[in-house]
């Protein structure tokens, strides 16, 4: 492939993925999705993976949406195949066993917002703009927006966004729970570095188990979810990580995971 559509930077298991189509505002087309799925399949196989940060190249956009130029002449069958490709790729991102963080600057619209919704949490710069404007193009969100958005912000707010197509700024995205933090654009990179250090300092198995408990428990009744939590809590005592973590606490030192 002549263009490096997904840039990968690996720092001791903390992997940063950058969608690299800045001239197209990092819009998702079939080639980007194929390359992203390939990269994610490689990450799935790694035992040393500690966390993933995903962002878009340049200062104008995280991902401005799916590539409208590519979609314009698609038939219903081709549209179904394109959506299926996107859903499959985004699901691989969502189900990585480690924390996945979206670093959002600029436009985060349509497929970009749907990509961010598949991440465990999102950090936005104060110039970020969010929305699901597909109805303005005569379609509905097709990369998971009608399902992940209400699970994140509630059905009433999700219906507001997907039926009006309106865009919201970072402050409103924070207020409704679409993102976790908002900061000046100039501070986003420094925060990403600090976050990477924080993730690296935590017990990797504990972090993986915590993510599994939250994600899997959300689809169960409370009693079943609590039983899952108990099982994963007990599992933490089976390895050396718990001994090191608690031992370091008692010895008043930093743990070495």
List, for residues 124-148, the tens digit of each pLDDT value.
999 999 999 999 999 999 999 999 9
CA distance 108 to 231: 38
Known active-site residue 172: no
Residue 3's pLDDT band, with cuts at 50, 70 and 90, is low
Average the pLDDT over 23-31 and give the result.
97
Q: Catalytic pick from 35, 73, 94, 134?
A: 134
Alpha-carbon span 43 to 48, nearest angstrom: 9
In order, the DSSP letters of 116-174 are HHTSSEEEEETT-EEE-GGGGGTS---SSHHHHHHHHH-HHHHHHHHHH--EEEHHHHH
- Give the domains, in start order, of the chain with CATH numbers: 6-200 (3.90.226.10), 204-250 (1.10.12.10)
pLDDT, mean over the chain: 95
pLDDT on residue 1 = 41
Its pTM stands at 0.93
Residues 7, 44, 70, 114: which is the catalytic one? 114
pLDDT, tens digit, 9 for 90 and up, residues 71-116 = 999 999 999 999 999 999 999 999 999 999 999 999 999 999 999 9
Is residue 60 helix, strand or coil? coil
Nearest to 68 by CA among 21, 20, 28: 28
What residue has token string 């976050």? Answer: 195
On the question of pLDDT at 2 being above 50, the answer is no
Confidence of residue 118 (pLDDT cuts 50, 70, 90): very high
| Owner of token pair 């081709």 | 78
- Asked if 77 is an active-site residue, the reply is no
Rounded distance between C-alpha atoms, residue 244 and residue 232, angstroms: 18
């Amino acid at each position: 492939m002549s263009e490096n559509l997904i840039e990968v930077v690996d720092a001791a298991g903390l992997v940063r993925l950058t969608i690299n189509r800045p001239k197209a505002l990092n819009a998702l087309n079939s080639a980007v999705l194929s390359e992203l799925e390939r990269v994610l399949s490689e990450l799935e196989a790694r035992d040393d993976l500690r966390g993933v940060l995903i962002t878009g190249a340049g200062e104008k956009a995280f991902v401005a949406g799916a590539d409208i130029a590519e979609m314009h002449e698609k038939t219903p069958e081709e549209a179904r195949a394109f959506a299926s490709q996107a859903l499959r790729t985004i699901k691989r991102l969502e189900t990585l066993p480690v924390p996945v963080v979206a670093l959002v600057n600029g436009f985060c619209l349509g497929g970009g917002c749907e990509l961010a919704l598949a991440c465990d949490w999102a950090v936005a710069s104060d110039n970020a703009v969010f929305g699901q404007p597909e109805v303005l193009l005569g379609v509905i969100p097709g990369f998971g927006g009608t399902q992940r958005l209400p699970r994140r912000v509630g059905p009433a707010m999700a219906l507001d966004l997907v039926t009006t197509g309106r865009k919201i700024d970072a402050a409103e995205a924070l207020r409704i729970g679409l993102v976790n933090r908002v900061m000046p654009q100039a501070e986003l990179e420094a925060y990403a570095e600090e976050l990477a250090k924080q993730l690296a300092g935590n017990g990797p198995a504990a972090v993986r188990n915590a993510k599994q408990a939250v994600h899997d428990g959300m689809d169960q009744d409370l009693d079943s979810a609590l039983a899952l939590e108990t099982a994963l809590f007990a599992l933490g005592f089976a390895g050396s990580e718990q001994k090191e973590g608690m031992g370091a606490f008692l010895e008043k030192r930093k743990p070495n995971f």
